[in-house]
C-alpha cells in the first residue's frame, strides 16, 4: 500500500517522472498545498501497518473522514440521485485537482464564476431576505396602497346594491379577496428559490407557463390603465370645479355661500345636452357670462385637453423617485375624506327609512344591481400585484397571513365608514348619490372645495407614478428593456394619454370605469390566477382533493360571473 | 529517434494549462510576460511509452519569435506522430488563426505527412450552453475544409467540464495500435475474474485507454474523477521523490485495485465481491500482466516495423 506523504516540506530540484520545470517546486503557493496535505497529515499512521487489522484501520479512517470531508463529498451512501449532483461533484473534483497545479494567484487555474455551482453564490445569510419591516408598517403599507379612488364611489356603489345587501357583500368580498391575496403570497413563498426576487408573474410562469405570466402582466396592466383613466376623469372634474370656483369668485365675489349644508342632486338639475354636464354642477354664473369662459372651460369637452398640458411634461421622466416623495399625500387625502364624511354625516344626521313610511328617505335594502358593487369592490380590494413586494420585507414572514387579515379588516372598515355612513346620512333621495361623492356638493362648499384641491394635487403627483409603472411593465414585457428609446416612450405616453382623454371626453363616469376594470382585472388576478396556481401546486405535490378543487373552481366561476354581470347594467352610469 | 506529439496553438489559447492538467505538471509561471512558450528543451514528458510532448506557441508572437520559429521549422515538424492544434473559441482573429493553422499543416505535409491531426476548440465554457454545439459544428466544418488533403478530427473542450478529458482519451485511443485486440483481451480478463469493471489507463496521464464495464454505474464522470484523484496523489508522492506504484481501496461495498500493468499502462479492477482476499486479486493481476505485456511487445514490434 502506498503511504501518503506526511512531510510538509517541498523537495524540489529532484527529477521525477512528471515534474517538468525543476524550479517549480518552490513556487507553489503554500496555502493550497497545505490545505490538501492537512488531510493526509492526520493519517500519521499508515493505513495498514503490521499488527493493526485492516478492518480497524478502515473504521478509524471512516470516522476521521466523516468529520473532515466537505459536506457534499459522498463518504456515506447518501442517495443524491440527480444527475446534477454528479456533475457538481465532478466540478469539485476538478477544482481540487487544478488548485494543486498552480499557485492561488494564477488566474489560469482559478475556477471561473460561471462554473461555480449557483448555490454557492448565496450563503444562507443572504438568502434570508427578511428586512426590518415590522408588522405595523406592513399593515399600514397594505392599507395605504389599497386605499384609492374607489373611496369616492363607495356610497354610490353601496346604494346600487341596497343598504343591507351591500354591507353583506362588502364583508363577503373582503373575505374572498383576502383569501386569494393570501394564496398569492403563499404561492411566491413556495417558488422562492436561490434568493431570486420573485413576483407573482414569475410564479405564474413557473406553474402555468408563459401564457400564465403573460396573463398576469396583461391583467395587471389593465387594472393600472383603469386606475389611470379614473384619475384622469377625476382630475378633470376637480380641475374644472376648482378653476370655475376661482373664476366665479374673481368675477362675482360675495355671491357664494360657504359651508353650506346644501346637497346637490345633479340628476335633477337642469343641464343642456351640448354642455355635456351629465352629472355636472350648476354654476351660479349669470347667463350673460357664459359665453367665453364657460365655452372654453367645459368639464367634459375641453378640460380633459387642458389637463394634458399640466400632466404631460411630468410623464416623460425616466425615474419617478421624485414623485414617490408625495406618497404621504395619499394617506392624508384618505384621512381627510373620512373626516369629511364624518363631519357631513354629523351635520345631516341619519336619514334612513326602512319601512317606506315616507317620513324619511327611502332605503333600498337589497337590489338586483348588486354586481355593480361587486365590480367596484374588485378594484377597491385589489392589491394582489403589490402584495408580494410589500410583504417581502417583513421581519417575521410567518405573520404575513395575520397582518394581511388585519390590513384587509382595516380597509373594509374604512370603506364601510365612508360608504355606509355617507349613504345612511344622505338627506336627499338616495338615488342622487353620485359615483363621485364630491359631485353632490356645490363648488362653493368649503370642505368639498378643500377636498377637491387636495385630491387634485395628490392625483397630479401620483399619476406620473402610475404611468411609470405601466410603462415599466409594458416595455419590459414587450421589448425587454425599460427604456427602449425616447420614441417608444413618447409614443406610449401619447397613446395612454389619448385613451385617458377619450374616456374623460366621452365616458366620464368613474363608477362605470371602476367596476368594469375591477371586474375585468379581478377576473384574472383576484379570482382565476391565484386559484389556478394553488390548484396546480397542489396537483404537483399530489395533494389535490376533490373538495379543494371544487371550492376553487367555484371561486373562479364567481370571478367570471362578476365580470359578465357588469355587462347587464350598461345603462346605469 | 523519439516520435513527437506537437501541442500547438496561438499564445494564450490554453495549451500550457491543458498540458499541466493532463500530465499533472505544476504549471509554469504565466509565460505571457516572458514571451512565448518554448519548451522543447525541457520536455521530460513521455507519453504512451515512446512519444514526447512538445509545446509550441504558433502565431501571434513578436517578430523575433516568428523568425526563430521559421528557422527551426523543419526541426520542429520532423518525426511528428500527432499534431494537436488548439483554437481559442473566443478569439477575435479567426482569419489569422486559420492562417497559422494552415502554415502548420503545410509544414506537416512536408515533414511528417503521416501524422494524425487533431483540432481542439478550447475554452468552450465561455460560450453559452445552448450555443456550444452550433458554434462547434461551424468551426469543425471550416477546419475540415481547410485541412484537406489531410484529415483532422475536431473536439470541443473546456478544462472545466468533462470534454477535455474525453477529447484526450479519444486521441490516446486512436494512438494505441491494435486497440480492439486490447479491448477483447480486457473483456476476457474481466469476465475471468468476475470483476464489476476493469479499466486500462495510460501511465503518464491516467487517460482511460479502454474499459470493460460489467455492472452499470450511475456516475458518468467517474473516469475523470479517478484520474484526477490519482494525479493529485502522484503530485503528493513526487514531493518525496517517491513514485506511485499501486493502490488498494476497500470498503464494505467494494474493493478496488490500481496497479502497474504494462510499461505504458495501469490497470484498475473493481470488485463488488469483497470476500475475495487481496492476495488472490494481486496474483490474478500479475498473471494477466504477463499476457498483456506479450501483447504490447507484439504491438511495439509492429510499430517499429512501420
Which residue did the predictor score with more confidence, B121 or B219?
Answer: B121
Span A358-368, average pLDDT: 70
By Cβ distance, the residue of B17, B23, B248 closest to A108 is B17
Over residues A440-471, the pLDDT tens digits come to 888 778 888 888 888 888 888 888 878 877 88
What are the angstrom distances between the C-alpha of B9 and each of A376, B21, B34? 72, 17, 17
Enter the DSSP assignment of A244. Answer: H
C-alpha dist (Å) from residue A522 to A152, A246, A375: 20, 40, 8
Q: What is the CA radius of gyration of chain A?
A: 34
Q: In A, which residues are within 8 Å of B246 by CB distance?
A: 1-2
How many other CB atoms are there within 10 angstroms of residue A147's CB atom?
23
Q: In terms of pLDDT, which residue wins out, B124 or A85? A: B124
For residues A79-98, give the mean pLDDT: 74
Q: What's the whole-number mean pLDDT along residues B245-268?
A: 88
Per-residue pLDDT band for A356 (boundaries 50, 70, 90) equals low
- For residues A489 and A498, give the distance between their C-alpha atoms in angstroms, rounded to a whole number: 14
CB contact residues (below 8 A), chain A span 103-132, against chain B? 106-109, 111-112, 114-115
Looking at chain A from residue 7 to 26, which residues have their Cβ under 8 Å from any Cβ of chain B?
A: 7, 10-11, 14-21, 24-25
pLDDT at A121: 64
Average pLDDT over residues B144-168: 90
Residue of B219, B218, B221, B207 lying closest to B266 (CA atoms):
B207
The string of pLDDT tens digits covering residues A241-251 is 888 888 877 77
pLDDT of residue A130: 52
Residues B301, B3: Cα–Cα separation, whole Å: 15
In chain B, DSSP assigns E strands to 3-9, 46-47, 51-57, 80-88, 116-122, 152-156, 197-202, 208-213, 247-250, 255-260, 265-271
* pLDDT: which is higher, B43 or A19: B43
Cell numbers for A342, please give them. 364624518
Joined grid coordinates for residue A10: 517541498
Question: Which residues in chain B are contacts of A19 at CB distance < 8 A?
Answer: 25-26, 44, 238
Q: Are A504 and A545 in contact (CB under 8 A)?
A: no
CB proximity B29 to A under 8 Å: yes
Q: Which of A174, A159, A463, A152 is nearest to A338 (CA)?
A: A152
A114 CB neighbours in chain B (<8 A) are: 125-126
Residues of B in contact with A89 (CB under 8 A): 219, 221, 225
- Find the CB nearest A58 among B16, B29, B250: B250
Say which range, A367-371, A442-446, A520-524, A548-552, has the weakest mean pLDDT: A442-446
Least confident of A229-238, A271-280, B122-131: A271-280
pLDDT tens, residue by residue, B54-93? 777 765 555 555 666 677 778 888 888 889 999 998 888 8
Amino acid at each position: 500500500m502506498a503511504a501518503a506523504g506526511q512531510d510538509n516540506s517541498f523537495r524540489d530540484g529532484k527529477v521525477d517522472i512528471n515534474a517538468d520545470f525543476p524550479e517549480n517546486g518552490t513556487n507553489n503557493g503554500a496555502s493550497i498545498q497545505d490545505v490538501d496535505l492537512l488531510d493526509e497529515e492526520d493519517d500519521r499512521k499508515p493505513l495498514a501497518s503490521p499488527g493493526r487489522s485492516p478492518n480497524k484501520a478502515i473504521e478509524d479512517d471512516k470516522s476521521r473522514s466523516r468529520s473532515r470531508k466537505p459536506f457534499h463529498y459522498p463518504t456515506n451512501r447518501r442517495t443524491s440521485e440527480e444527475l446534477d449532483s454528479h456533475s457538481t461533484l465532478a466540478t469539485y473534483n476538478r477544482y481540487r485537482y487544478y488548485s494543486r497545479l498552480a499557485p492561488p494567484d494564477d488566474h489560469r487555474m482559478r475556477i471561473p464564476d460561471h462554473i461555480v455551482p449557483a448555490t454557492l453564490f448565496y450563503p444562507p445569510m443572504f438568502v434570508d431576505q427578511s428586512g426590518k419591516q415590522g408588522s405595523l408598517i406592513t399593515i399600514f403599507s397594505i392599507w395605504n396602497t389599497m386605499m384609492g379612488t374607489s373611496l369616492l364611489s363607495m356610497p354610490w356603489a353601496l346604494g346600487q346594491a341596497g343598504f343591507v345587501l351591500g354591507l353583506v357583500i362588502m364583508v363577503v368580498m373582503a373575505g374572498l379577496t383576502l383569501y386569494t391575496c393570501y394564496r398569492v403570497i403563499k404561492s411566491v413563498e413556495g417558488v422562492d428559490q436561490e434568493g431570486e426576487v420573485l413576483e407573482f408573474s414569475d410564479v405564474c410562469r413557473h406553474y402555468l407557463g408563459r401564457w400564465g405570466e403573460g396573463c398576469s402582466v396583461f391583467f395587471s396592466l389593465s387594472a393600472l390603465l383603469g386606475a389611470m383613466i379614473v384619475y384622469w376623469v377625476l382630475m378633470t372634474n376637480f380641475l374644472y370645479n376648482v378653476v370655475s370656483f376661482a373664476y366665479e369668485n374673481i368675477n362675482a365675489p360675495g355671491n357664494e355661500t360657504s359651508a353650506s349644508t346644501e346637497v346637490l342632486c345633479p340628476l335633477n338639475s337642469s343641464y343642456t345636452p351640448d354642455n355635456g354636464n351629465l352629472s355636472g354642477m350648476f354654476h351660479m354664473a349669470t347667463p350673460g357670462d357664459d359665453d367665453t369662459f364657460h365655452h372654453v372651460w367645459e368639464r367634459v369637452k375641453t378640460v380633459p385637453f387642458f389637463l394634458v398640458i399640466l400632466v404631460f411634461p411630468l410623464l416623460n421622466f425616466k425615474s419617478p423617485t421624485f414623485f414617490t416623495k408625495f406618497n404621504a399625500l395619499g394617506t392624508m387625502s384618505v384621512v381627510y375624506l373620512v373626516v369629511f364624511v364624518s363631519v357631513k354625516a354629523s351635520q345631516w344626521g341619519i336619514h334612513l327609512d326602512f319601512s317606506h313610511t315616507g317620513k324619511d328617505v327611502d332605503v333600498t335594502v337589497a337590489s338586483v344591481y348588486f354586481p355593480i358593487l361587486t365590480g367596484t369592490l374588485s378594484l377597491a380590494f385589489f392589491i394582489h400585484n403589490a402584495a408580494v413586494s410589500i410583504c417581502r420585507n417583513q421581519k417575521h414572514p410567518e405573520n404575513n397571513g395575520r397582518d394581511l387579515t388585519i390590513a384587509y379588516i382595516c380597509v373594509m372598515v374604512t370603506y364601510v365608514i365612508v360608504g355606509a355612513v355617507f349613504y345612511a346620512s344622505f338627506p336627499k333621495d338616495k338615488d342622487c348619490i353620485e359615483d363621485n361623492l364630491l359631485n353632490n356638493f356645490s363648488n362653493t362648499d368649503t370642505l368639498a372645495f378643500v377636498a377637491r384641491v387636495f385630491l387634485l394635487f395628490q392625483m397630479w403627483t401620483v399619476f406620473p407614478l402610475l404611468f411609470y409603472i405601466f410603462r415599466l411593465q409594458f416595455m419590459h414585457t414587450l421589448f425587454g428593456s425599460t427604456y427602449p428609446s425616447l420614441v417608444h416612450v413618447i409614443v406610449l405616453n401619447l397613446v395612454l394619454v389619448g385613451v385617458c382623454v377619450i374616456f374623460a371626453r366621452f365616458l366620464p363616469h368613474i363608477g362605470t370605469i371602476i367596476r368594469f376594470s375591477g371586474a375585468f382585472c379581478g377576473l384574472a388576478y383576484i379570482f382565476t390566477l391565484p386559484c389556478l396556481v394553488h390548484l396546480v401546486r397542489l396537483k404537483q405535490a399530489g395533494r389535490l382533493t376533490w373538495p379543494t378543487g371544487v371550492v376553487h373552481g367555484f371561486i373562479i366561476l364567481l370571478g367570471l360571473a362578476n365580470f359578465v354581470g357588469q355587462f347587464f347594467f350598461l345603462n346605469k352610469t | 529517434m523519439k516520435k513527437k506529439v506537437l501541442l500547438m496553438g496561438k499564445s494564450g489559447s490554453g495549451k500550457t494549462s491543458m498540458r499541466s492538467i493532463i500530465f499533472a505538471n505544476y504549471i509554469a509561471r504565466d509565460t505571457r510576460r516572458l514571451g512565448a512558450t518554448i519548451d522543447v528543451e525541457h520536455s521530460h514528458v513521455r507519453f504512451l511509452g515512446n512519444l514526447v510532448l512538445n509545446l509550441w506557441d504558433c502565431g501571434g508572437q513578436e517578430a523575433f519569435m516568428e523568425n526563430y520559429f521559421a528557422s527551426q521549422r523543419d526541426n520542429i515538424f520532423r518525426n511528428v506522430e500527432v499534431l494537436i492544434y488548439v483554437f481559442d473559441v473566443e478569439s477575435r482573429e479567426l482569419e489569422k488563426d486559420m492562417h497559422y493553422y494552415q502554415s502548420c499543416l503545410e509544414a506537416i505535409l512536408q515533414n511528417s505527412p503521416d501524422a494524425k491531426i487533431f483540432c481542439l476548440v478550447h475554452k468552450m465554457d465561455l460560450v453559452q450552453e445552448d450555443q456550444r454545439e452550433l458554434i462547434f459544428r461551424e468551426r469543425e466544418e471550416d477546419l475540415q475544409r481547410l485541412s484537406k488533403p489531410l484529415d483532422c478530427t475536431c473536439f470541443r473542450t473546456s478544462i472545466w467540464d468533462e470534454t477535455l478529458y474525453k477529447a484526450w482519451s479519444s486521441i490516446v485511443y486512436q494512438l494505441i495500435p491494435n486497440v480492439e485486440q486490447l479491448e477483447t483481451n480486457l473483456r476476457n480478463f474481466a469476465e475471468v475474474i468476475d470483476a464489476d469493471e476493469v479499466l486500462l489507463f495510460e501511465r503518464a496521464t491516467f487517460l482511460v485507454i479502454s474499459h470493460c464495464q460489467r455492472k452499470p454505474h450511475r456516475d458518468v464522470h467517474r473516469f475523470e474523477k479517478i484520474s484526477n484523484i490519482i494525479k493529485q496523489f502522484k503530485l503528493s508522492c513526487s514531493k518525496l521523490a517517491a513514485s506511485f506504484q499501486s493502490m488498494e481501496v476497500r470498503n464494505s461495498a467494494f474493493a478496488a485495485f490500481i496497479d502497474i500493468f504494462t510499461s505504458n499502462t495501469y490497470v484498475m479492477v473493481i470488485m463488488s465481491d469483497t470476500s475475495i482476499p487481496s492476495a488472490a486479486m494481486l496474483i490474478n493481476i500479475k498473471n494477466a500482466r504477463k499476457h498483456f505485456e506479450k501483447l504490447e511487445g507484439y504491438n511495439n514490434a509492429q510499430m517499429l516495423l512501420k
